[in-house]
């Protein structure tokens, strides 16, 4: 069974940075695109960023483009989300996500393509 375990959330002031990590296990990590989603209180879960299986292609939501960077280490089965210039609107629970199928295109990584979710890590950005 696939397991995704996030770490790295916390409280930070606006303009600050946080680094989220996700450790994956249970299947061949290097053949699956990985993604990050977030859900703010009272809102639907939304896409944040995705990286394809090789790490050569990434895709970001417009709201985080230029501030967040997704990366992966296939040797360690980890995916990381570096978040810079954080804003109060970035406050949410962040979820690591993996699709059902191998070789999913990063741009196609939506909520409906996710088969596995992590437990979530809370990020709070104070103004």
Per-residue pLDDT of the chain in tens (127 residues, 90 and over written 9)? 899 999 999 999 999 999 999 999 988 899 999 999 999 999 999 999 999 999 999 999 999 999 999 999 999 999 999 999 999 999 999 999 999 998 988 888 999 999 999 999 999 999 9
Closest CA to 92 of 52, 127, 122, 61: 122
Exposure b/e, 57-95, CB count within 10 A at least 16 = b: ebbbeeebeeebbbebeeeebbbbbbbeebeeebbbbbb
């Amino acid at each position: 069974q696939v397991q995704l375990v996030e770490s790295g959330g916390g409280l930070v002031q606006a303009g600050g940075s946080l680094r989220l990590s996700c450790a994956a296990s249970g299947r061949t990590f290097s053949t699956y695109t990985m993604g990050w989603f977030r859900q703010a209180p009272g809102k639907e879960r939304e896409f944040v960023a995705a990286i394809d299986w090789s790490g050569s292609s990434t895709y970001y939501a417009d709201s985080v483009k230029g501030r967040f960077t997704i990366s992966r280490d296939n040797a360690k089965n980890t995916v990381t989300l570096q978040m810079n210039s954080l804003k109060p609107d970035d406050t949410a629970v962040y979820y690591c996500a993996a699709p059902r199928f191998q070789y999913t295109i990063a741009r196609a990584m939506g909520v409906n393509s996710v088969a596995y979710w992590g437990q979530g890590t809370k990020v709070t950005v104070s103004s």
